[in-house]
Structure 1
Amino acid sequence: MELHADPLSHIYCHISQFEAMLRLDGKVVLITGLGQTTDEGWGIGAAIASKLASQGAMIFGGNRSLASAQRTKSRIDSSGGICDIQETNVTEANSVKALVEACMQRHGRIDILVNNVGRSEPGCPATMTEDIWDSQVDINLKSVYLTCHLVLPIMERQTSGGSIINVSSIAGLRYIGKPQVAYSATKAAIMQFTTATAVIYAAKNVRLNTVVPGLISTPYTRELAKRYAPGGDEEEYMRKRDAQVPMGRMGDAWDVANAVLFLAADESKYITGQELVVDGGITSSTGRV
């Protein structure tokens, strides 16, 4: 008598394979800018760290404020993940060096690097002061150089190589409705820095890609609303941001975190030198600025 396999076994097999995708078990992630300034909601860095930890990665984070980083660490710890943190000034070479060395002392390797630090200051070249320009270049761009300067040689020595994900912004692709020339210039520079370095390191088993968020609703967005909402109408400020997006809403931190996870995982092992835009279609549209 012919025996037939359980018709559900094929489905169960595919479910099991899906659950095993995008796993980061045993991988070490060095991430900057993982702090969370409030217990409400999720910032991009905190969401990235938590998402990667939930997939089995060991997190080692550097953040300007240790108290903010502790909020993220506590969330990861309470979920059964592994997260170490260290106070870090990403614009200062010795501070970044200390972060990288501490991570290596703790884990002996760095498999994934996520550069998530960024800050926006308003102004055009005629009105922006030189010190604001310099500080924007330092925090948005020099920080990426400093981490890559120290981590690339480590990844190159590892037989498994590594994956570097730099977080940029659609402000580096188009004008998004407000003068912030230093922010826009540095975010555009991050993309080209990543692309050029990806080509240089492609044969060395080290991948570099950029995640490019659009308008994202985070606790920081709420702070911007408090500062810049015309007439103090914060809800109208948020509604206008939603209306700018063809999908009719801003994204959230998890949309960005999921993109970072994909580029960090082995499933994207043939992808390097690319920009993954997470923006609800805004950079593909016209007239919505």
Structure 2
Amino acid sequence: MIRAEGFEAVAFGADVTRENELVQAIYGAKERWGSLDVLHNNVGVSLGGGDADLMDITEDKFDNICRINLRGTVFACKHAVAIMRAQRSGSIVNVSSAAGPGKYPYVAYKASKAGVIAFTEQLALQNAPFGIRANCVLPGLIATPMAVEARVREWSQSREQVLADRDAKVPLGRQGSAWDVANAALYLASDEADFVTGVSLLVDGGRILNRI
């Protein structure tokens, strides 16, 4: 799709739980284009990673989810920031979740995504003197395979039932799409958000208002 628009797109593979692979991917991009303008951390697991409520979570599952969701983000930022500080510019957009500040029944996902919010605020404050901005996107109920298919299996319901149940929980009457999240991230990454840093932007169709 990017190439069809006349731009260049190159993939650098990396396992976010392995710091050396993150280094290779980040510096590979820097080498190819000469600078690193944007880092977008968009990775996460929950039910598919074995998340559970407090009384059922295991040590291994908790560690695995936090290793992917939180530690991966921290170490990607560590190496991206080294480049961005040297060039005295850059935009970091981390994907957290509305589960961070909102209601969510499973402990590891909530803890890890709340951690991403706190870490992003620290990142923004400590790196503002270097011209680096850092912000969060907080998706709500989004119709992605990770969110929907895992619940089809977990709840033993049809895909249509799961979609209808999730749609009904959103004041705007539907779940979000990946494009809704992408457009929010694009704004935060862009020069149009040049005076925006340290924010957590909810993309949830107003669902968090249900707790007010």
TM-score interval, smaller chain: over 0.9
Partner amino acid for 1:254? W
Match of 1:130 in 2: 59
The DSSP-based 3-state class of the residue aligned with 1:103 is helix
Larger radius of gyration: 1
* 1:214 paired to 2:144: no
- Determine the C-alpha separation between the residues in 1 that align with 2:25 and 2:209: 38
TM (norm. structure 2) is 0.93
* 1:146 paired to 2:60: no
- Once the 2 structures are TM-superposed, how far is the Cα of residue 202 of structure 1 from its aligned partner? 1.3
Pairing 1:104-119 to 2, within 5 Å after superposition: 104-119=30-45
- Determine the C-alpha separation between the residues in 1 that align with 2:4 and 2:138: 29
Match of 1:264 in 2: 189
Match of 1:63 in 2: none
- Determine the C-alpha separation between the residues in 2 that align with 1:251 and 1:191: 20
The DSSP-based 3-state class of the residue aligned with 1:172 is coil
Deviation readout 1:132-179 (Å, 9 max, x if unpaired): 1110110000011111110112111114x0100000111111223xx3
Q: Is the 8 A contact 1:225 1:238 kept in 2?
A: no
* 1:87 paired to 2:13: yes
* 1:158 paired to 2:84: no
The DSSP-based 3-state class of the residue aligned with 2:80 is helix
Q: What is the count of residue pairs matched by the alignment?
A: 209
Question: Whose strand proportion is higher, 1 or 2?
Answer: 1
Partner amino acid for 2:97? S
Q: Can you give the 5+ residue segments of structure 2 that lack an aligned partner in the other structure?
A: none
Partner amino acid for 1:146? F
Q: Can you give the 5+ residue segments of structure 1 that lack an aligned partner in the other structure?
A: 1-74
TM (norm. structure 1) is 0.69
The DSSP-based 3-state class of the residue aligned with 1:241 is helix
* 1:284 paired to 2:212: no
- Determine the C-alpha separation between the residues in 2 that align with 1:263 and 1:207: 9
- Once the 2 structures are TM-superposed, how far is the Cα of residue 223 of structure 1 from its aligned partner? 1.9
The DSSP-based 3-state class of the residue aligned with 1:175 is coil
Pairing 1:185-224 to 2, within 5 Å after superposition: 185-224=111-150
The DSSP-based 3-state class of the residue aligned with 2:2 is helix
CA gap 1:109/1:258 in 2 versus in 1, 3 angstroms: same
- Once the 2 structures are TM-superposed, how far is the Cα of residue 225 of structure 1 from its aligned partner? 4.3
Q: Is the 8 A contact 1:89 1:96 kept in 2?
A: yes
- Once the 2 structures are TM-superposed, how far is the Cα of residue 229 of structure 1 from its aligned partner? 3.8
Find 1:169's aligned residue among 74, 92, 97: 97
CA gap 1:187/1:252 in 2 versus in 1, 3 angstroms: same
RMSD over aligned Cα atoms: 1.5
Pairing 1:4-153 to 2, within 5 Å after superposition: 75-121=1-47, 122-153=51-82
CA gap 1:79/1:220 in 2 versus in 1, 3 angstroms: farther
- Once the 2 structures are TM-superposed, how far is the Cα of residue 78 of structure 1 from its aligned partner? 3.4
